[in-house]
Structure 1
Amino acid sequence: MRVAHVMAGAVQGGAEAFFERLVLAQHRAGLDVLAVIRREPGRAARLAAGGVAPVQLGFGGPLDWLTAGRLRAALRGFRPQVVVAWMNRAAGFARAATSPGDGWAMAGRLGGAYALKHYRGCDLLAANTQGLCDWITTQGWPADRVRLVPNFAADLAGTPPAALPFPPGAVPLLAMGRLHPNKDFPTLLRAMALLPTPVHLALAGEGPERAALEGLVRELGLGSRVAFLGWRQDVGALLAASRMLVVPSRIEPLGNVVLEGFSAARPVVATAADGPREVIRPGETGLLTPIGDHAALAAAITQLLDDPARAEAIATAGRAAFLARHAEGPVLAAWAAFLAEAAARKEQG
């Protein structure tokens, strides 16, 4: 199978991180893979280190008259069977770079409720949750042209722990994600104010809300109990150093961090946003609390801190769920079936 993945996303983000994991995993599995990305030195270096030297293009705004032609040249040179467009901008440029006579199938990969007008011309869509599949069909997209293809996380079991900037005896919690209103870290900080002082929070991520969050830390008197770590690539090490993972999002179509928590055998406490609600079996593989309810979030964290045996059982069940559904092997098999179907649809006209 020859597959071209086109990603015009941000420097950091869940979809962007999974794009890198999938491209490199498919390459290791023997697929002939082309990665076309928006210019970004870090992503390019990570892909090249894994054996996939990417094509880097501008993927700019309305006045970018060069990218579509350059993308078309790259695709014609590579001759893929399937082109997978990741998110709206990539889908628009991929459509502009494709002519009716080209031999490749067009597929779109969606990780959220994106405007489907960008995916006109796609033979097939991949969505990473059943809830998103259902939403796509309610928007008028034919049900026989959308498939559930879940994400996988890296297997983080056994990773040595990172050093966290907390004093001896601290009980470290971990939260990760873009510092953005959708992630609702203020609710987590307010929950922290209800927890005993040995409990500390490591917050890995960066974004436009950082100054406001730092101000809230001061307002709540949390002081050195909260550490802002910035963007980190050593997710497994951070999880290994933490007692549990907390995901307080208001909007979370999937929540790759939940899968990473499962993978690392860490108990997960999350709010009942769409993705965590679909992935977590409440009380078995994690705990779910109402969105925006800091008291309920604090109570759920306290339950697991006060009952280590229950926390360990939840972590073990999460790890088993990861291996069954969200490890590299089963997800690569799902992607292989998806790509084969997309190619077959193109061949059948």
Structure 2
Amino acid sequence: MAGAPHGGAEAFFERLVLAQHRAGMDVLAVIRRDAGRAARLTEAGLPPTQLRFGGPLDWLTAPRLRRELKTFRPRVVVAWMSRAAGFARAASGRNPPWAMTGRLGGAYPLRHYSACDLLAANTQGLCDWITAQGWPADRVRRVPNFAADLLGTPPATLPFAPGAIPLLAMGRLHPNKDFATLLRAMALLPGQVHLALAGDGPERIMLETLAGELGLGRRVAFLGWRQDVGALLAASRMLVVPSRIEPLGNVVLEGFSASRPVVATLADGPREVIRPEENGMLVPIGDAPALAAAITTLLDQPERAEALAAAGRAAFLAEHAEAAGLAAWARFLEEAARRHGSLA
């Protein structure tokens, strides 16, 4: 996995390999050099191999990765997103003894995955997109993400005055996440409604400036990147996901897990996992008044909010809990190994 220090796909990589390790699977985690990620994996008993995973002039990562793979002798290699797929292909060469697979969490260029026997995509919509690009339908499988079980986590302390009604939003501060629309929605809500925004990224200064221009003041707390997702959810009245582009939205699954009502936009991922008015609420993308109206509805109707949260929790247990997710990944890996002929 050669991704960024923070992000939903990167966080799920950590969650998956550690869950597989706890379940007794022999796992080698290979990551781009990152002290924080390496420390978390090591502390949990899975010290990773760290490589550079650099740009076109990085001539060292592929041979080093090849040595690691030959020593470990895997049955299946999973390339986590595009950069990792390119290096895994270079390291494996032609006719490797292991099955090659790729995991996609978005509409990535498929040329990077040309050496893969099988692809895993985390939503049906993404599977459909992959086959629409010409990839054979029998070589892609939907393998849903899973979230940690966050129910019962003690709440975090949020920097709001007593009596505040806290909302939570989480993610990279990037245009795709469209937190600007959420801030504009906040300006339409009563003054006792506050927002905790957990994340960081290139839009932080712009968003802080916008919050000031909207007169939100201390009603918005920029928390930076946080690892205590369960505690933040426990301290919040609801989770809001205002994304313009969201292939899945791991935060939606985390909201379900923590039994918190979720208000999200009609982006691809939330639209696939949220059943409107049953286990969450969906609003048009980029529509601040509609977002504010949905939030107001759930604040004004706590019994309705509680029912949505309970249905979200049930959906989490049925498909997105760790046991279900590990079983789906085990089936995918076994199929990939069989396809490659590495199972008897």
User: What interval of TM-score do these two structures reach, taking the shorter chain for normalisation?
Assistant: over 0.9
* Aligned-partner residue type, residue 112 of structure 1: G
Q: RMSD across aligned C-alpha pairs, in angstroms?
A: 0.9
Aligned to 2:70: 76
How far apart are the structure 2 equivalents of 1:146 and 1:158?
36
Q: Tell me, yes or no, if structure 1 residue 170 matches structure 2 residue 170.
A: no
Deviation at 1:251, TM superposition (A): 0.2
Matched, 1:109 2:98: no
Which residue, 259, 263, 285 being the options, matches 2:257? 263
CA distance in 2, matches of 1:143, 1:305: 44
1:294-323 CA deviation, whole Å, 9 max, x = no partner?
000000000000000000000000000000
AA partner of residue 179 (structure 1)? L
Cα distance in 2 between the residues matched to 1:103 and 1:267? 47
- Determine which of 133, 143, 149 is the counterpart of 2:137: 143
Query: 1:336 matched to which residue of 2?
Result: 330
**CA deviation digits over 1:148-186, x for unaligned, max 9?**
000000000000000000000000000000000000001
Equivalent position SS for 1:32? coil
Q: 2 CA distance for matches of 1:28 and 1:186?
A: 39
Cα deviation, residue 99, structure 1: 2.4
Match of residue 184, structure 1, among 178, 202, 205: 178
Contact 2:42-2:48 within 8 A present in 1 as well: yes
**Contact 2:75–2:342, Cα closer than 8 Å, also in 1:** no
Moved more, 242-251 or 45-54: 45-54
The one of 38, 45, 53 aligned to 1:51: 45
Separation in structure 1 between the aligned mates of residue 97 and residue 62 of structure 2, nearest angstrom? 17
Distance 1:138 1:210 in 2: 36
Q: 1:35 aligns with which of 20, 26, 29?
A: 29
1:50 CA drift (Å):
1.3
User: Which residue of structure 1 lines up, in the alignment, with residue 150 of structure 2?
Assistant: 156
What code does the residue aligned with 2:73 have?
R
SS at match of 1:65: coil
**Partner of residue 320 from structure 1, selected from 283, 307, 314:** 314
- Counterpart of 2:88? 94
Deviation track 1:76-126 (CA, whole Å, cap 9, x = no partner) reads 000000000001100000000012342100000000000000000100000
1:246 matched to 2:240: yes
Give 1:348 shift.
7.7
Q: Structure 1 CA distance, aligned partners of 2:205 and 2:21?
A: 40
Q: CA deviation at 1:290?
A: 0.1
Equivalences for residues 277-296 of structure 1 within 5 A = 277-296=271-290
1:16 & 1:150 partners in 2: Cα distance?
15
User: What secondary structure is seen at the aligned counterpart in 1 of 2:231?
Assistant: helix
Which ranges in structure 1 are unaligned for 5 or more consecutive residues?
1-6
Q: Helix, strand or coil for the counterpart of 1:203?
A: strand
- Structure 1 runs of 4+ with >3 Å offset: none
Aligned identity (percent) is 80
Gaps of 5+ in 2: none
Rounded to whole Å, the distance in 2 between the matches of 1:348 and 1:79 is 11
Q: Counterpart of 1:33 in 2: which secondary structure? A: coil
Are 1:128 and 2:103 counterparts? no
Distance 2:156 2:25 in 1: 34
Contact 2:98/2:342, CA 8 A, preserved across alignment: no
Q: 2:203 aligns with which of 204, 209, 212?
A: 209
Is contact 2:264–2:283 with CA below 8 Å preserved after alignment? yes
Rounded Cα–Cα distance in structure 2 between residues aligned with 1:314 and 1:261: 11
State how far apart, in whole Å, the 1-side matches of 2:180 and 2:12 are. Answer: 26
Query: What is the number of residues matched between the two proteins?
Result: 343
Q: Please report how far the alpha carbon of residue 49 of structure 1 lies from its aligned counterpart in structure 2 after TM superposition.
A: 1.2
Aligned to 1:4: none
In 1: Cα distance, 2:119 partner to 2:96 partner: 19
The one-letter code matched in structure 1 to 2:113 is Y
Q: Normalising to structure 2: TM-score of the pair? A: 0.99
